[in-house]
Amino acid sequence: MHHAAVTRRDLLAGTAALGIAAAVAPRAAEAAPASAAIDAAMLGAAKYMVEKVSHQGGYVWQVLLDRSREWGEMQAYPTSVWIQNPGTPLMGQVFLDAYHATGNAYFYKAAAAAADVLIRGQHDSGGWNYHFDLAGEQSIRRWYDTIGKNGWRLEEFQHYYGNATYDDSCTADCAKFMLRMYLEKREQRYRASLDKVLGFVLASQYPVGGWPQRFPLRDEFHDHGLPDYTSFITFNDDVAAENIAFLLMVWQTLGDERVLDPIARAMDCFVRAQQPQPQPGWGLQHTVADLKPASARTYEPKALVSHTTATNVALMMDFYELTGDQKFLRRLPEALDWLDSIRLPASIDPQRRYPTFTEVGTNTPMYIHRRGSDVVNGEYYHDDDPRNTIAHYSSFRSPDVAKLRARYAALSARPVAEVVAGSALKGSRHPLPRYFTLGDVTIRDLKTTAPSTVSPGAQDEVAAILAALDADHRWVTPLHTTSHIYTRDGYEKPVPGDFSHTYVGDDTDTSPYPDPQPVPGISTAVFAKNMAVLIRARAAAT
């Protein structure tokens, strides 16, 4: 649940979402690079990452060239294995895609190393946390008691829950990767891990169909007088959607009938959680008992949420395409009308015209601010003043309501039989896409057989990426984020300065922030983006 969820689409479009600039210079290509050159570049880059960067098969996000500091979403230890995208599951998927494109066994071994280390970090319950530590329990607890505890804006890291999370697709990404690894060669160690995580997904689902953010449930963490938010039904960061996608993948590939009722209940939860008029939207999280919007982190108040509502509208149309059931379409015009009703004047933000949070019962925008200088003396609060809102979590959004209306109109006009054609829930089970890192694999993608051909992409982009590899087979890139080194816990009283609009507070705040003087390093995001371009070119040549 970081400030902006990073998707594979972000990685393919660029790395701005991570504050990273790829070290790829433009270069014209007179002819398409030969497959042998692409293979050699991919192999050399992969060997560098596996043999020089990985932690026994696991990865973090950024590494300085001298290895003196490393980061996932926060600073990591040399024994850390990061799960959050673009962490270890993504790296494993990249290697598996490279194996599919080239047939080179080294790439499969690299994917297997990532899968094997993930098995070591799999929670006893079957899920995964944001990260784990190869040095063991004492080391991970020390990390949470120092670095994690003092990340002012990263409240999800301020406690060591000792359980697993669905946030930021951590468990879902591992589950999908483990499914692909098992399907590749039917190796039993991957089937055991897959069965374990499937059991986790089924056991953690509430009877009403939603999932908590973390599981097994814990009740001892209460902050700021509020109950622990991780037990609430979570829509934020596509928790439910990612779990549904995984269960659909299991059904399509393994035919396990145990997942069918959970899929149906999960989709129904979206219908039941849509609020009544006059505010027919959704929140980030909802209470289990009555499905009302609930608060989460202290800068995520109990509210109706514009981008979550838009996302859920799109997902409900996906569910209609899977089932043909009109209940998924019936109230969508209400949600779209409500989004239009909360549209802000252009004078507030000409690009992002919708408030992130809208107060339950009043439709008043809720703008998020903070005061203080660190996690000890600082606090977040909301009011109706759109000025000087926090930078790391925008109070404004830009859902494409017109596009959603157009899709709704098109779906409504089509015969139901045509809409559901190809649905796995209507008897058309398809194999998984051959490549997972060339674009987002969404619920809609699982409805049709993936095309057998891959477009090659731009030749000049391929040539530029090949040219950017240095003599050590590295894509060196400026690391545009950094963080304070942990030295002590926060101060009792705020230090001088205005931290209301900054990414980081005083020198005790361990939250990442933009580095005014970026230093060179290695980025998994850049590696994944560049490898995806080469995989596409290589796959198109076969």
pLDDT score at 265:
98
Task: State how far the Cα of 170 lies from the Cα of 10, in Å rounded to an integer.
Answer: 17
Task: State how far the Cα of 71 lies from the Cα of 512, in Å rounded to an integer.
Answer: 9
**In residues, how long is the chain?**
542
Please determine, for residue 231, whether its predicted confidence score (pLDDT) is greater than 90: yes
pLDDT score at 220:
64
Q: What percent of the chain has pLDDT over 90?
A: 86
11 versus 392: which is more confidently predicted?
392
Residue 533: band (very low, low, confident or very high) from pLDDT cuts 50, 70, 90: very high
Mean pLDDT is lowest, of 3-17, 46-60, 244-258, 419-433, for 3-17
The two structure tokens encoding residue 314: 């799109």
Residue 522, φ and ψ in degrees, nearest 5: -115, 135
Please determine, for residue 274, whether its predicted confidence score (pLDDT) is greater than 50: yes
Closest by CA position to 275, among listed 262, 294, 261: 294
Please determine, for residue 473, whether its predicted confidence score (pLDDT) is greater than 90: yes
Residue 366, φ and ψ in degrees, nearest 5: -120, 110
Inside any domain, residue 3 = no
pLDDT score at 541:
81
pLDDT score at 18:
37
Please determine, for residue 452, whether its predicted confidence score (pLDDT) is greater than 90: no
Query: What does the mean pLDDT of the chain come to?
Result: 92
Q: Which domain holds residue 91?
A: 8-128+137-540
pLDDT score at 228:
85
Please determine, for residue 29, whether its predicted confidence score (pLDDT) is greater than 60: no
Average the pLDDT over 286-303 and give the result.
Answer: 97
Inside any domain, residue 1 = no
Residue 408: band (very low, low, confident or very high) from pLDDT cuts 50, 70, 90: very high
pLDDT score at 439:
87
Inside any domain, residue 2 = no
Count of domains observed in the chain = 1
pLDDT score at 221:
60
Inside any domain, residue 267 = yes
Mean pLDDT is lowest, of 114-118, 217-221, 242-246, 307-311, for 217-221
Please determine, for residue 25, whether its predicted confidence score (pLDDT) is greater than 90: no
Q: Is the peptide bond before 216 cis (omega within 30 degrees of 0)?
A: yes
The answer to whether the CB of 462 falls within 8 A of the CB of 32 is yes
| Residues sharing a CB contact under 8 Å with residue 409, sequence separation 6 or more, in sequence order | none
Average the pLDDT over 457-481 and give the result.
Answer: 95
Please determine, for residue 3, whether its predicted confidence score (pLDDT) is greater than 70: no
**Per-residue DSSP letter, 231:** G
Average the pLDDT over 229-246 and give the result.
Answer: 96
pLDDT score at 319:
98
Look up the CATH number of the domain holding residue 95: 1.50.10.20
Average the pLDDT over 297-324 and give the result.
Answer: 97
* C-beta atoms surrounding 388 within 10 Å: 12
pLDDT score at 8:
41
Inside any domain, residue 27 = yes
The answer to whether the CB of 368 falls within 8 A of the CB of 357 is yes
Task: State how far the Cα of 242 lies from the Cα of 172, in Å rounded to an integer.
Answer: 6
pLDDT score at 22:
41
What residues form DSSP beta bridges with 305?
357
Inside any domain, residue 512 = yes
16 versus 176: which is more confidently predicted?
176
pLDDT score at 102:
97
pLDDT in tens, 81-131: 999 999 999 999 999 999 999 999 999 999 999 999 999 999 999 999 999
Please determine, for residue 450, whether its predicted confidence score (pLDDT) is greater than 80: no
Please determine, for residue 412, whether its predicted confidence score (pLDDT) is greater than 60: yes
Residue 269: band (very low, low, confident or very high) from pLDDT cuts 50, 70, 90: very high
The answer to whether the CB of 157 falls within 8 A of the CB of 74 is yes
Please determine, for residue 223, whether its predicted confidence score (pLDDT) is greater than 60: no
pLDDT score at 458:
84
Query: Which ranges of 122-167 does DSSP label H, i.e. alpha helix?
Result: 137-146
The answer to whether the CB of 111 falls within 8 A of the CB of 119 is no
DSSP for 368-384?
A: EEEESSSTTT-EEEEES
Residue 226: strand, helix, or coil: strand
Instruction: Return the amino acid letter for 467.
Output: A
Instruction: Return the amino acid letter for 300.
Output: E
Task: State how far the Cα of 453 lies from the Cα of 447, in Å rounded to an integer.
Answer: 18
Please determine, for residue 271, whether its predicted confidence score (pLDDT) is greater than 90: yes
Closest by CA position to 53, among listed 70, 41, 75, 72: 70
pLDDT score at 427:
87
Return the exposure string of 253-263: e unless at least 16 CB atoms fall within 10 Å of the residue's CB, then b: bbeeeebeebb
Largest CA distance in the chain: 65
